Amino acid sequence: MDAYENRVQFLNDREVLDKSYVLYWMQHSQRVEDNHAFEFAITQANILKKPLLVCFGITSTYPDANARHYAFMLEGLHGLATSIREKNVAFIIGLVEPILAIKQLSDNACMVVVDRGYLTIERQWRTIVAEYVPCSMIQIETDIVVPVEVASIKQEYSAATLRRKISPIIDMYAQLPIPQICEIEPSYPRVNFETMDLSDRHRLETIIHKLPIDHSIGKVDGFTGGTQHANALLDVFIESILPNYRTLKGDPSKNMTSKLSPYLHFGHISPIRVYRAVKEHDPYDDSGFLEELVVRRELAINFCYYNSRYDSYEALPNWAKTTLDAHRYDTRPAYYSDKQLIESQTEDPYWNAAQKQLVICGFMHGYMRMYWAKKILEWKESPEQAYSLALQLNNTYGLDGRDPNGYAGVAWCFGLHDRPWKERSVFGNVRYMNDRGLERKFKMADYVEHIHETCT
Ligand SMILES: Cc1cc2nc3c(=O)[nH]c(=O)nc-3n(C[C@H](O)[C@H](O)[C@H](O)COP(=O)(O)OP(=O)(O)OC[C@H]3O[C@@H](n4cnc5c(N)ncnc54)[C@H](O)[C@@H]3O)c2cc1C
């Protein structure tokens, strides 16, 4: 954080203060509502009596991102462009690496404000830009309930250890007033920057088509990006799903979860808004939903923030690596190639349905995600291969992929945040799941039928 702290000196520098605008580099928090970084930027612009310029740079080289992810993101940016315009704030979106865009625009900025991301690439971008910008750069955390370093100063061992630390303060952080959008003088600084026009929704497809990205994995039907859609989904969840969440959330045949994960991933909705909506509906909510939204989600962020190898097999705890290693030469019940797995060609109808849901619908039911990754471990020649394939499929096809939750979720299936269980073939002491367990608990035929009907 030194690079940021060193910039504080610029706050009082006359020459810097004479520059044209306050610049909000929007990256992770792609929304206007409940966005502390945006609010802070408006407040600073008002104090400094400068216009505010919001910039979003679209890179075509984001790891594992494909047309599916870009379509969802651009739908969100389309709505965002309208919302920002309604606030009389200038918004520029360029097909340009974010670092280059911000470097270019910061030359005329008296302050740069940025939201916070936890993955390596997001942190590298901020570090590089912070070392360059000739003015103060301030990072504001807004996609989490309890700030990551407040929650813990180290990688947590399990959900229980994080829960103990944050439970007493979750409500306090979630209920802190989110500043309301302050008024700002309409002002549009002139900038030499090629900006995209996203006002016409029908042009989005043409824009995506022109991007040099992987187009083989396309847009999905069931989700439309943007804050408006996230809010609508939240309303439906609170009204119709939350009352049954505790009993039915784990049942893949019932489809009773919020499906907010893609929206949380792209910052289209704030977890604080979701938390408050649940609490407003029922102050004594005991559905277990807030445990997922806050403790589990923030445990995943804790993992990625404090473990620089979060995207590799190396990130697993030693006991898990040791036991998987001891069982690496165990005969697998079946061996499937990557192609067979991608194309859902296994002998397991439940796994095939889950994989189909991921590939075609861009989503997978939470309970099936655990089963799905554990089966990959059982069917690949080595645990390392299984780990890397599970991550790759999750990140490539999942609309909510490339998220701390995905890295922690896959790692959990290989022992992270869990404890050793009874030893068995292939898995060693890593927790095991099988199809009989699914059948005992749920009407799996209904799940398979539902996927065949909806994911075509
Ligand atoms: C192998 C595997 C891969 C996963 N990959 C992803 C991924 O790529 N992206 C992703 O967002 N989640 C991932 N998860 C976590 C979880 O399965 C999903 O967040 C959840 O299923 C999303 O559906 P939902 O929004 O309807 O969840 P809900 O049950 O409605 O929960 C609300 C929110 O709480 C959070 N949440 C729920 N369950 C978990 C969990 N176990 N860990 C962390 N946060 C959670 C999510 O932000 C979710 O949107 C993965 C889990 C596993 C086991």
Nearest protein CA to atom 7 of ligand 1, as residue: 406
Nearest protein CA to atom 47 of ligand 1, as residue: 261
Tell me: pLDDT of 234 over 50. yes
178-182 long-range CB contacts below 8 Å, 24 or more apart?
178/34, 178/36, 178/39, 178/270, 178/272, 179/36, 179/39, 179/40, 179/43, 180/39, 181/32, 181/38, 181/39, 181/42, 181/87, 182/39, 182/42, 182/43, 182/46
Domain boundary among 141, 165, 199: 141
Nearest protein CA to atom 17 of ligand 1, as residue: 366
Do residues 89 and 174 both lie within one domain? no
Residue predicted with more confidence, 247 or 179? 247
User: Does residue 231 sit within a domain?
Assistant: yes
For the sheet containing 136-140, what is the strand order? 90-94, 52-57, 21-25, 109-115, 136-140
User: Does residue 7 sit within a domain?
Assistant: yes
Do residues 377 and 248 both lie within one domain? no
CATH of the domain at 277: 1.25.40.80
Q: What lines the ligand 1 site, CB under 6 Å?
A: 249, 257-261, 264-265, 292-293, 296-297, 300, 366, 369-370, 373, 394, 398, 400-401, 403, 405-406, 409-410, 412-413
Do residues 245 and 349 both lie within one domain? no
Ligand 1 centroid, distance to 349 Cα (angstroms) = 22
How far is CA 348 from its chain centroid? Answer: 29
Euclidean distance between the first and the last CA atom of the chain, given in angstroms as a whole number: 48
| Listed range (21-35, 86-100, 240-254, 313-327) with the worst mean pLDDT | 86-100
Angstrom distance (rounded) from CA 207 to CA 193: 18
At CA 350, angle to CA 346 and CA 351, rounded to 5?
Answer: 50
Ligand 1 centroid, distance to 400 Cα (angstroms) = 8
pLDDT of res. 1 = 40
Angstrom distance (rounded) from CA 58 to CA 61: 9
Tell me: pLDDT of 6 over 50. no
Number of domains in the chain: 3
Tell me: pLDDT of 41 over 90. yes
Pocket test for ligand 1, best of 166, 246, 311, 400 (most atoms within 8 A of CB): 400
User: Does residue 285 sit within a domain?
Assistant: yes
Domain boundary among 141, 161, 195: 141
Amino acid identity for residue 82 in this structure: T
Do residues 350 and 300 both lie within one domain? no
Do residues 174 and 268 both lie within one domain? yes
Average pLDDT, the chain: 94
User: Does residue 192 sit within a domain?
Assistant: no
For 438-454, what is each residue's pLDDT tens digit? 999 999 999 999 999 99
Output the CA–CA distances (angstroms, integers) from residue 44 to 20, 38, 176, 186, in the order listed.
Answer: 13, 10, 20, 15
User: Does residue 185 sit within a domain?
Assistant: no
Ligand 1 atom with least separation from CA of 372: 1
- Cα torsion for 223, 229, 233, 238, to the nearest 10°? 170
Do the Cβ atoms of 115 and 27 come closer than 8 Å? yes
Average pLDDT rounded to a whole number, residues 286-311: 98
Tell me: pLDDT of 10 over 70. no
Neighbours of 194 (CB within 10 A): 10
Average pLDDT rounded to a whole number, residues 28-45: 95
Tell which residue, 438, 439, 392, 432, has the closest CA to residue 414: 432
Do residues 94 and 163 both lie within one domain? no
Do residues 276 and 326 both lie within one domain? no
Ligand 1 centroid, distance to 413 Cα (angstroms) = 13
Domain boundary among 306, 337, 360: 306
Average pLDDT rounded to a whole number, residues 411-437: 98
Nearest protein CA to atom 52 of ligand 1, as residue: 409
Average pLDDT rounded to a whole number, residues 305-321: 98
Do residues 347 and 235 both lie within one domain? no
Tell me: pLDDT of 4 over 50. no
In eight-state DSSP terms, residue 10 is: G
For 96-146, what is each residue's pLDDT tens digit? 999 999 999 999 999 999 999 999 999 999 999 999 999 999 999 999 999
Nearest protein CA to atom 40 of ligand 1, as residue: 296
CATH of the domain at 8: 3.40.50.620
Nearest protein CA to atom 10 of ligand 1, as residue: 405
pLDDT of res. 7 = 46
User: Does residue 163 sit within a domain?
Assistant: yes
User: Does residue 380 sit within a domain?
Assistant: yes
In which element (H, E) is residue 94 found? strand 90-94
User: Does residue 20 sit within a domain?
Assistant: yes
In which element (H, E) is residue 78 found? helix 67-86
Do residues 292 and 347 both lie within one domain? no
Domain extent, residue 40, equals 1-141
pLDDT of res. 183 = 77
Do residues 427 and 314 both lie within one domain? yes
Average pLDDT rounded to a whole number, residues 15-29: 87
Neighbours of 351 (CB within 10 A): 23
Do the Cβ atoms of 403 and 28 come closer than 8 Å? no
CATH of the domain at 356: 1.10.579.10
Q: Give the global pTM.
A: 0.96
pLDDT of res. 15 = 66
Structure tokens at 374: 């554990």
pLDDT of res. 202 = 83
**pLDDT-derived band at 193, boundaries 50, 70, 90:** confident
Do residues 325 and 396 both lie within one domain? yes
Do residues 171 and 70 both lie within one domain? no
